Amino acid sequence: MKSNLLPAIKLTLVSLVFFMGIYTLVVYGIAQLAPNKGKGFIIVHKDKTYYSNIGQAFTDDMYFNSRPSAVGYNAAGSGGSNKGPSNPDYLKEVQARIDTFLVHNPGVSKSEIPSDLVTASGSGLDPNISLQAAKVQVKRIAKIRHISEERLIQLIDEQTEKPLLGLFGTEKINVLKLNIALDDLK
């Protein structure tokens, strides 16, 4: 028993020192090399602080809508709904989002709604939407804000983030940055 207990205690102590001390310092050191020293991408607009790498709730019709969040945009509780596409509760939730979108965007058919506007991401905090998701909302925003659709399309093009090195990922738009730019138009 002594021959098993002593190595187990030593391994536990070495693991504690490594994972609580050394590993933590290494991760912290790497974070210091990242933009904003690992504290996220902060945007200050009209004396309010926002994190552009965390999804924000935009539901007012005068703004581009965000991707739905399974966690209510709470970064402390990041996570998906864990419901599969055949789950009846999940299907009701998605259908309710579709119905709400159609009410707020008359003239848009159900088949034109991109999936990222009615389904939450795995983290529930995705700050980005697809180009299609932004463009399907243009008519509503143009009408409410009295801005030409062409100007909104131009704004979307200006705010579009290209794939990394032109290869990795898809084109996307950060909803917070897009809505701030939209506010700054006037």
Give the start-to-end residue ranges of the domains of the chain: 1-39, 54-183
Tally of helices (H runs) and strands (E runs) in the chain: 7, 5
Q: Which pLDDT value is given to residue 177?
A: 93
Q: Which pLDDT value is given to residue 113?
A: 93
pTM above 0.85, yes or no: no
Distance CA 144, CA 61 (A): 8
Q: 86-143: per-residue pLDDT in tens?
A: 889 889 989 999 999 999 998 899 999 999 999 888 777 888 999 999 999 999 999 9
Q: Which of 126, 135, 186, 181 is nearest to 158 (CA)?
A: 181
Q: Which amino acid is at 47?
A: D
Distance CA 100, CA 96 (A): 6
Average pLDDT over residues 58-82: 83
Mean of the per-residue pLDDT values for the chain?
87
Min mean pLDDT across 14-18, 53-57, 115-119, 141-145 is at 53-57
Distance CA 49, CA 58 (A): 15
Q: 27-47: per-residue pLDDT in tens?
A: 988 888 877 777 778 878 888
Average pLDDT over residues 142-162: 92
Q: Is the pLDDT of residue 186 over 70?
A: no
CA distances from 111 to 90, 94, 123 (A): 19, 14, 25
